[in-house]
Amino acid sequence: MPTALITGATAGIGAAFARRLAADGFSLVLVARDEKRLTSSAESLRLRYGVEVEVLPADLAAEEGLTAVEARLREGVDLLVNNAGFGHPGAFLDVPVADELRMLKVHCEAVLRLTLAALPGMRERDRGAVVNVASVAAFFTRGTYSASKAWVVNFSESIASELTGTRVRVMALCPGFVRTEFHDRASMDVSGIPRFLWLSADDVVDEAMRDLARGRRVSIPDIRYKAIVGVGRLIPRGLAGEVSRRLGRR
User: Which of 26, 145, 151, 225 is labelled catalytic?
Assistant: 145
Find the largest Cα–Cα distance for the chain. 51
Phi, psi of 129 (to 5 degrees): -155, 150
What residue type is 110 in one-letter code?
A
Question: Is 145 one of the catalytic residues?
Answer: yes
Q: How far apart are CA 228 and CA 206, in angstroms?
A: 20
What is the phi/psi pair of residue 77, to 5°? -140, 160
Within its chain, how far is the Cα of 202 from the centroid? Answer: 14
Which residues in the chain belong to E strands, given as ranges? 3-7, 27-32, 53-57, 79-82, 128-133, 168-173, 218-219
- Residue 5: strand pairing partners: 29, 80
Rounded CA separation 39/46 (Å): 11
- Annotated catalytic residues are 145
